[in-house]
Chain A
Amino acid sequence: MVFDLLRDTEGIVGAVGIDTRSDRAYVFQAKAVILGTGCLDRLYPAPVPAWMASIPGNLTLTGDGRAMTYRAGGVIVGPEVPKRHVGPRYFSRFGQATWIGVLRDPQGNPIGPYVTKPDRVYGDMTPEVRGVFLEDYMKSGRGPVYMDCRGISDEDYEYMMHWLVHEGNSSLIDYMKEEGIDLRRHPVEFQPYHIISEGKIWINEKAETSLRGLYSAGDESMGGIGPAATYGWIAGENAAAYARKKLAFDVETQRDEIEKRKELVEEISSRTAGPDWKEANIALQQIMLDYAGQVRSETLLSAGMTYLQRLKEKVATTMMARNQWELTRCLETLNLLDMGELVFLAANARKETRGLHSRTDYPLTDPMLDGKAVSIKKVNGEPIVEFSKAE
């Protein structure tokens, strides 16, 4: 696992990582580095809080590229923007738009105004418009809300089941077969899932980040599999072109920085008592949910930031790993702590309500912030938060 970047005055010159199987650290000397570390999860409690793996994505995608970029001085955009997917309650899976059915209340009434019968072309786009609409039903006692595929044509059913597999739902389909659940007969309860931070690494049209020699592709810099695939090529071509022009250098000039990373890893591995990664991660999740969750305000965000910083200090001096697997999770958790801090900073800066970023002290949307994104970078060890044109 690569967990930090190395830079000199010119730009990125390599990275440091650990072996996930043996007690070894690696130093990579590189004229250019391409990040592709995917989504940012495990920052907020999972849909089943006691079951961390009850998320639709990977537990190992913890915003590592974003955190590495930020620590190296690169720009991160929009970490305060929350995103929530919708899907089967508790059995969290992606692919909400693949379902062909109607979201209905317990009486069988459609909850949205868009469709009244299963429609392959439109699906039920109610959660696309406002996913937490389903949560409002539960909170008001009008729930639960069901995805009702009854009335679907045979052709559409086959189409939906085919593409649900491609959306990563094969275990769900296997489970339904085993349990005798047939979507043509049984409406399945839906819910909005946990909060995911939309924060991205800023890149330009060449997939270059704000740091020379550092490129990024995929969910960490833009959403969706199409842009991810396209920008993998673009990042590769431009990183190669940059590397060809870059003069030779020696990563050993960064020996002090390398030693600091080695010490960090050795400290975590050598401790025989203290919280493990999971304890630290859960502590972080509860602070994120309660102080930068669905309800946000100046007082909540300020208090939450203080608690988070205290937690960071404790984790930095006490977190332990019993083996390389746990060490990897520990390094992910350190990245999550940095990302949590960025959420607090950006959420405090965005003094308005917009989408799922809901400020009780600023309940209106500020039209002056239309088309503007919060960007954060570290300068001389301190975060600089500003608004920039959204791209």
Chain B
Amino acid sequence: MPPIIDPTKCTGCGICVDMCSEDVFFGSEKGKVPVVTYPEFCVHFNCCVYECPQRGAIAVRIPLPQMLLYKEEGM
């Protein structure tokens, strides 16, 4: 479920919590690794990824129902 936080890299600064327009981190506490309380409300805008000061601490995983459909080469 999106987003995914690496607790070994996250400093708990809370910027992602403040930036998320959909408030998926509701209930998170300042200074702690955010909780992804409402993952199904993530619309994958990547705001949390862009604003995170710790590279690689947060990533957005695209859920399977939104898998991109494409044609292989030569098809």
> Is residue A303 within 8 Å, beta carbon to beta carbon, of the partner chain?
no
Within 8 A of A (CB), among B14-73: 21-23, 26-27, 37-38, 40-46, 49-50, 60, 62-63, 65-73
Task: Give Cα distance in the complex from A144 to B62, angstroms.
Answer: 22
Task: Give Cα distance in the complex from A72 to B23, angstroms.
Answer: 28
Instruction: Count A-B pairs with CB separation below 8 Å.
Output: 88
> Is residue A53 within 8 Å, beta carbon to beta carbon, of the partner chain?
yes
Residues of B within 8 A of A60 (CB): 21-23
How many chain A residues sit at the interface, stated as a range, is: 35 or more
Task: Give Cα distance in the complex from A179 to B62, angstroms.
Answer: 11
Within 8 A of B (CB), among A217-270: none
Chain B nearest CB: distance from A256 CB in Å? 32
Nearest-CB residue, chain A, relative to B44: A171
A58 near B21 with CB under 8 A, answer yes
Chain B nearest CB: distance from A360 CB in Å? 32
B70 near A20 with CB under 8 A, answer no
Residues of B within 8 A of A57 (CB): 43
Task: Give Cα distance in the complex from A51 to B40, angstroms.
Answer: 7
Chain B nearest CB: distance from A214 CB in Å? 24
> Is residue A188 within 8 Å, beta carbon to beta carbon, of the partner chain?
yes
Chain A nearest CB: distance from B59 CB in Å? 8
B62 near A181 with CB under 8 A, answer no
Binding site for A on B (CB under 8 A): 21-23, 26-27, 37-38, 40-46, 49-50, 60, 62-63, 65-73
Q: A57-B43, A174-B46 are in contact. List 9 more A-B contacts (CB 8 A).
A: A88-B68, A91-B62, A144-B69, A171-B45, A181-B70, A185-B73, A187-B70, A188-B69, A189-B70
